[in-house]
Chains A and B, each alone.
Chain A
Amino acid sequence: MLEQLRQQLKALQKPAGLEDSLGALPLGIAAIDDVLGGGLARGALHEIAAPAEAHLAAATAFTLGLMPASTRVLWVAEDMACIESGGPYGPGLDAFKLMPERLLTIVVSRPRDLLWAMEEALRCRAIGAVIGEIRHGALDAVAVRRLSLAAGDSGALALLLRAKPGGDASTAATRWIVGAAPSSHPHTYQFGAPRFATHLTRNRRGPTSSWILEWSDTDGRFVLAAPALPVAAPALDRPRRQTSSRYVA
């Protein structure tokens, strides 16, 4: 009996989001994949925030661009988000590789329902990625941790999309702040490919850094648009953390 409980406890204590067995989802950019330890960890929670509300569409695009191709996606948002920022628009989604027929949208009225719906979807084997859109406010840390665990169990990608960077401590495997970056030269008056100012602000597998990415329509993935912003270069030689007993929530 006691032994059984210990086993259960052990299973519960396993650090979420650091499952190497589930593999990673490479972005296809060596600089980023190295920092992330091979790519975006599957079966983990990732948080993507817009620097300000106006940048939410850019953060949305980045989120969609990260997801594996041809997967079923569930998008949960509060009803306020749909009014303020607009709902996902089918004809524009496949610009970022998401087929609209593979998307399920849920509008909830309470943050509690949002987390519940996300967890429920993460436990469903048919869903490859779950996006939860949060306008503002802190999230219940326990609920977020539950999301990480649910994602770890199923191998699906749990993505929190925020309209503003959240100040709360998070158990997310990575945290990003992604906004739009100018794509066009101010004088040519011509459209370029969309660019994203991407800041990795938390990375449980390695250092953090910033990049300017560009969405390449032909390849259907991000490419590096410009050298990293003037911040400390990623310390690539830093040893990877041990996966056990280093968990800090």
Chain B
Amino acid sequence: MLTAPLAVSGKRGNAELLVAIDDAAERRGLRVGIALAQARAMHPALDVVPEDVEADATLLENIADWCSRYTPLVACDAPDGLLLDITGCTHLYGGERKLVTDLAGRLERAGFTLSLAITGTIGAAWAAAHYGRPASYANGDERRILCPLPLAALRLTPSIVASLARVGLKLIGDIIDLPRSPLTARFGDELLCQLDRALGREHEPLNPRLPVAPYVAEERFAEPIGREEDVLGTVEKLAARLAFALERRGDGARRIELALFRTDGEVRRLAAGTSRPLRDPPSIRALFAERLVVLADALDPGFGFDMARLSMTVAEAAPPEQIGIGNAEDRVEMDRLVDRLSARLGAQRVRRLIAQDSHIPEIAAITVPAQIKTSDGWTAFRRHRTEAELAPRPLRLLARPEPIEAVAEVPDGPPLRFRWRRALHEVIAAEGPERIEGAWWSEHGAPARDYFRVEDKMGLRFWLFRAGLYRDFVPGTSPPSWFLHGSFG
């Protein structure tokens, strides 16, 4: 069957060019880089798809994600390359060649065309993958692979390649043995730097796209798994494997990530945080059990997972604890509870109260996720309250003060009656005002507030304030208004 040639077009400068073509288009004499109009003229049947840079980048990210089954060190080499550091990972597949066969086989089955190379340096691998024979392989003889390749394979700025070509230097082999100082003098540092990197004379770091976890354990399954119990069993098994390493270094995990590799190339990631360094495998299993409950069937194993990796992305020193003295045990129990609740409901929903150094009521006391360990500031707050003789504070504070209609004595009197949420409250006792200045130093600062504690006929007690002072009131502007901020018990 003959398919119509397919090309992807994109804007380069002001011209609409072909940026990628398929085999059928190539056989018909089209090339990347020719103008779209010209290509259309050559082949009216050409199927043209506009380029989608973002989708391409996402696809590359997804493939990179999938490649992390081979090594945690994966870097994206935009627009269409990936770099994998497989140092020390090959034995899992029985050697480099087997790893490559596995990787290439899976990607080809997924419909990708690829060209790959394994060498001892990033530069040589890039050169061989882009310009060399398919599936090049070098083991200490990067020089042999590099020599026949064009100079562009060294990832040089095009202008340098052009000026080298002008003096007849076209292949890497042409410059590899030339004296270094004239080359540098004429073509700049970049040329020799890239050559040295490709030959391994100079180190080139790989920037992995995901931070590498200090503790990683993984498990491959001969038969894909999909049941929740199996996944949790694997988690516990992997955690037990890591527990040794953690214990030896006196560490515990603060953040744990579980990556499940689906047979079809999807990667599912679940993460759980802990409030204290953790290394007990059953507890880690329990955390992920909560995470799985929330997912329900969103875990979606498809045809099953053929690999699982447990990484402790954040680890912290866990000092050995003496159990049974004071209420240390209580605190451990408490942290476990916080972790379980946070794993199931989300860390943002499990909170504790802290006091902050501010005189503005809604900033003076806030809540933070309970897993975040910061000092709570209540001791300092109580000292401040005694010293400053603060008026009583309400038991419940509204997230946002609600406007009320109030009748009050002008300028500084308490409200006599007010209407809140359609109900009228007749004030029979009031205390105040307690003046709280707004953040006058800030551009967005609110006006000063005069707070009153009032009690209505039924005995309900509220915390009201007047925003703005009659002192500052300029006729013609809106007068100070009343708000209800909280209620007392």
Contact = CB atoms under 8 A, between A and B. Distances in A.
Nearest to A63: B489
Contacts of B489: 57-58, 60-62, 64-65, 92, 95-96, 194, 215
B345 A117 contact: yes
Contacts of B458: 54-55, 179-182
A189 B430 contact: yes
A88 interface: yes
Given A60-B489, A82-B399, A92-B395, A195 B341 contact: no
Contacts of B460: 54-55, 57-58, 180
B488 A194 contact: yes
Nearest to A51: B458
Contacts of B397: 86-87, 89, 92
B488 A57 contact: yes
Contact of A96 (B365, B395, B428): B395
A45 B335 CA distance: 24
Nearest to A61: B489
Interface string B206-232: 000000000000000000000000000
A62 B395 CA distance: 11
Interface string B370-386: 10000010100110010
A92 B459 contact: no
B396 A60 contact: yes
B403 to A, nearest CB: 15
Contacts of B453: 191
A186 B290 CA distance: 55
Interface residues of B, number: 55
A90 B378 contact: yes
Contacts of A179: 458-459
B367 to A, nearest CB: 6
A99 B334 CA distance: 16
A89 B455 contact: no
* Secondary structure of the A contact surface, majority rule: mixed
A95 B463 CA distance: 15
A195 B367 contact: no
Contacts of B382: 94
B398 interface: yes
Interface string B236-274: 000000000000000000000000000000000000000
A169 B113 CA distance: 67
Contact of A57 (B327, B376, B461): B461
Interface string B331-344: 10110111011001
B331 A186 contact: no
Nearest to A81: B396
A183 interface: yes
A183 B459 contact: yes
A159 to B, nearest CB: 14
A125 B330 contact: yes
B395 A126 contact: no
B423 A88 contact: no
B428 A189 contact: yes
A167 interface: no
A181 B459 contact: yes
Most chain A Cβ neighbours within 10 Å, of B353, B361, B382, B461: B353
B313 interface: no
17 contacts: A54-B460, A57-B396, A60-B395, A87-B399, A88-B353, A89-B395, A89-B396, A92-B394, A95-B392, A95-B395, A104-B334, A117-B345, A126-B327, A126-B330, A180-B458, A191-B431, A194-B461
Given A91-B355, A105-B351, A195-B459, 14 more contacts: A57-B460, A57-B488, A58-B459, A62-B489, A91-B393, A103-B352, A108-B345, A117-B341, A120-B340, A126-B329, A180-B461, A182-B457, A194-B489, A197-B459
7 cross-chain pairs, A with B, having the tightest CB-CB distances, nearest first? A61-B489, A57-B487, A89-B397, A180-B459, A90-B365, A86-B396, A91-B393
